[in-house]
């Protein structure tokens, strides 16, 4: 089946640094979503992308839908301690049902104060 390769798997940064993570696939996707999961909680939707090339911001977060439709990235600017958590990308492939999302394995972000 279709898979998403999310990288890096983990990041250790200093507070105030910018963060960049991405998801890639050998297949195209119609929609890209980015979620954040805190320990002991469910994923929270951060950004949704619907068109190739689309660039969307949510506060300090910026995400882009790759022009080839096979990748997406998420940037976090000026990281703060509450940014700690696991970030997941999710894609909706055209060959699957409208409600079936494929998830990446996550990027675990750790911030040193």
Partner 1 sequence: ETGVTQTPRHLVMGMTNKKSLKCEQHLGHNAMYWYKQSAKKPLELMFVYNFKEQTENNSVPSRFSPECPNSSHLFLHLHTLQPEDSALYLCASSQGWGDYEQYFGPGTRLTVT
The residues of the shown chain that bind partner 1, judged by CB under 8 A, are 4, 31, 33, 35, 40-45, 48, 88, 90, 92, 97-106
CB 5 to partner 1: min, Å: 11
How far apart CA 95 and CA 64 sit, in angstroms, is 22
CB 43 to partner 1: min, Å: 5
Express the helix, strand and coil content of the chain in percent, nearest 5 each.
5, 50, 45
Q: How many CB atoms lie within 10 A of CB 24?
A: 17
With respect to partner 1, which residue has the nearer C-beta, 30 or 77? 30
CA quadruple 53, 7, 34, 1: dihedral sign = positive
- Classified as helix, coil or strand, 53 is coil
With respect to partner 1, which residue has the nearer C-beta, 40 or 59? 40
With respect to partner 1, which residue has the nearer C-beta, 25 or 79? 25
With respect to partner 1, which residue has the nearer C-beta, 71 or 79? 71
CB 98 to partner 1: min, Å: 5
CB 48 to partner 1: min, Å: 5
- CA dist list (Å): 95 to 34, 71, 100: 20, 17, 10
């Amino acid at each position: 089946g279709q898979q998403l390769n999310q990288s890096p798997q983990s990041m250790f940064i200093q507070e105030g640094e910018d963060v960049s993570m991405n998801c890639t696939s050998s297949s195209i996707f119609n929609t890209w979503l980015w979620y954040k999961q805190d320990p002991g909680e469910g994923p929270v939707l951060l950004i949704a992308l619907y068109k190739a090339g689309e660039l969307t911001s949510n506060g300090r977060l910026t995400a882009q839908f790759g022009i080839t439709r096979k990748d997406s990235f998420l940037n976090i600017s000026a990281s703060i301690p509450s940014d700690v958590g696991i970030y997941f990308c999710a894609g909706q492939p055209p060959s699957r049902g409208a409600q079936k999302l494929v998830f990446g394995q996550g990027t675990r972000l750790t911030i040193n104060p």
